[in-house]
Amino acid sequence: EGFKPLVLSTWAHGMPANDKAWEVLESTGNVLDAVEQGVKVTELDLSNLSVGLQGLPDREGIATLDASIMLGDGSCGSVGFVRQVKHPISLARKVMENTPHVMLAGEGARQFAISEGFELEDEVLSPRADELFQEWKKTSMYKPIINIENHDTIGMIALGADGKMAGSCTTSGLAYKMHGRIGDSPIIGAGLFVDDEVGAATATGLGESIIRICGSFLIVELMRQGRSPQEACQEAVRRLISKNKNIDDIQAGFIAFNKEGEFGAYAVRAGFNYARHHKGSQELIDATYKL
Ligand code: SD4
CB-CB contact of 205 with 185 (8 Å): no
CA–CA separation, 194 vs 200, rounded Å?
A: 4
Q: How far is the CA of 73 from the centre of ligand 1 (A)?
A: 25
ipTM of the complex: 0.97
Q: Cα dist. 42→120, 136, 161, 168 in Å?
A: 18, 24, 24, 12
Backbone angles phi, psi at 144, to 5 degrees: -60, 130
Q: How far is the CA of 27 from the centre of ligand 1 (A)?
A: 31
- What pLDDT score does 46 carry? 84
The preferred substitution site among 10, 79, 146, 206 for testing ligand 1, maximizing ligand atoms within 8 Å of CB, is: 206
pTM assigned to the model: 0.96
175-200: string of b/e by CB count within 10 Å (b at 16+)? bbbeeebbbbbbbbbbbbbbbbebbb
Ligand 1, residues at Cβ distance < 6 Å = 50, 150-153, 171, 173-174, 183-185, 204-207
CA proximity to 154, closest of 88, 63, 62: 88
Enumerate residue ranges in the chain where pLDDT < 50.
none
- What pLDDT score does 270 carry? 93
Q: How far is the CA of 231 from the centre of ligand 1 (A)?
A: 22
pLDDT tens digit sequence for 38-61: 999 999 998 888 899 999 999 999
- What pLDDT score does 26 carry? 94
- What pLDDT score does 218 carry? 98
